Amino acid sequence: MRFFDSEEWVISSAGGMTGEAYMAESGNNKLFIKRNSSPFLAVLSAEGIVPKLLWARRMGNGDVLTAQQWMNGRVLKPGEMSSKRVAGLLKKIHTSDPLLFMLKRLGKKPVSTDQMLKQLVDRAEKGRQTKAVREAILFLQKTAGQAEHAQKAVCHSDVNHNNWLLDNDGKSLYLVDWDQAVIADPAVDLSMLLYWYVEEDKWEDWLNLYGWDLDDSLHLRLVWHMIATTLRFMFWHQEHAEVKKIILFEKDLLWLNEYAANITC
């Protein structure tokens, strides 16, 4: 594939679920190419949240290609997710006015717990409703009003450690893969990170790094979104017939249902 008149670039897949990401190489030059990425990428780059955006070009077939600076580094290890740097970058994202302004310009509207619940119920009705799923949805229905939070922010929605990149010098930390970004309660991101990577007795300390105090109201919001996110991922794997992943998320759901039963609402 030719991006510049004077250079021939070799293209290979860069992985990912969408199949829209590529690595482009020409001599010593290397780029990260994505097809039909959101204009949101430009603001993420300007804010220093993703590697630098170099250019965007419309191809003859109508596709838009974006090229980002290739970063030599690695993904974060699970044990690094509880760090102050991770908390700081999430706080920067959740308090960024430029990110919020651009996502709204792109047509995204704030999402409430009631709207999230409706989407989950609709998806549950199309799949196999186990006892664990029914119990989880019942908890979400009973507590959706109490878990609603008025202040919405840009949320990544998949803060898996594989989406965090640290450069080889250890100076720059990025959060990539923004295809699922929403405007919602920041607890969407915080709940996932805490549940997957931080021991429960350290939640309060980690939230203090982020800048919040853990009270009963926040605790309920975190558990609500832990369950909602677990259902969302489980339904995705059901829709893609990935049985092993479904089993793993159902185990998580069983534990979360038991945990939620002990919360005073």
Would you call 201 a catalytic residue per the annotation?
Answer: no
Quick one: which of 173, 149, 147 has its CA closest to 159? Answer: 173
Quick one: which of 22, 136, 15 has its CA closest to 75? Answer: 15
Q: What are the backbone angles phi and psi of residue 86, rounded to the nearest 5°?
A: -65, -45
Cβ neighbour number for residue 19 with a 10 Å cutoff? 10
Q: Which helix (H) or strand (E) holds 41?
A: helix 40-46
| Ranges of H-type helices in 148-202 | 187-197
> CB within 8 A of 199, min separation 6: which ones?
none
Q: Considering the candidates 63, 97, 158, 189, report the single residue annotated as catalytic.
A: 158
β partners of residue 66 = 34, 56
Quick one: which of 116, 111, 143, 119 has its CA closest to 216? Answer: 143
Residues with active-site annotation:
158
